[in-house]
Amino acid sequence: MGTSPRQNKARTVPHPIRATLRHRPDRILLGEIRGAEAFDLLQLLNTGHSGTISTVHANSALQAINRFTSCVLQSNVELPYRAIKSNIADSLHVVIQIKRRPGRRYVSEVLEINKYDPDADLFDYCAIYQRQETPV
């Protein structure tokens, strides 16, 4: 029993992304971002593919932005920290936080990203929606 050369090739996130981009899609749905593939997503967003949706696990919309930043940094790309955050602010327009409770999911928070201030190291954002938790 032999194995074909195709079976031995490792597939990482950049491979299908590059293959997808050759078809010039209007929308790209990318699954969960956990690590170095975040840089590929950032590149994708910064090259005019604004119809892209992805997920990242975090406890709030603002923490999702910080988690995305950390994931981009894990890719060992030679970009300064503040340049990465500026690129994220230029790329992301809206961050939606979805919470899960037994039997349902709901939108808990929506942030609009306006810009990044490198001097203060802060994102300028506007909370478009924030669900008020009711005690059970």
Packing angle between helix 81-91 and helix 61-73, nearest 10 degrees? 130
Q: Which fold has domain 12-130?
A: Rossmann fold (3.40.50)
Q: What is the pTM of this model?
A: 0.79
Please report, in tens digits, the pLDDT of each residue of the chain (136 residues total). Answer: 455 555 555 556 666 666 776 667 777 777 888 887 888 888 888 877 667 888 999 999 999 999 999 999 988 888 999 999 999 999 999 999 999 989 999 999 999 999 999 999 999 999 999 998 776 6
Rounded distance between C-alpha atoms, residue 67 and residue 41, angstroms: 13
Q: Any idea where the domains of the chain sit in the sequence?
A: 12-130
Residue type present at position 64 = A
Residue type present at position 22 = R
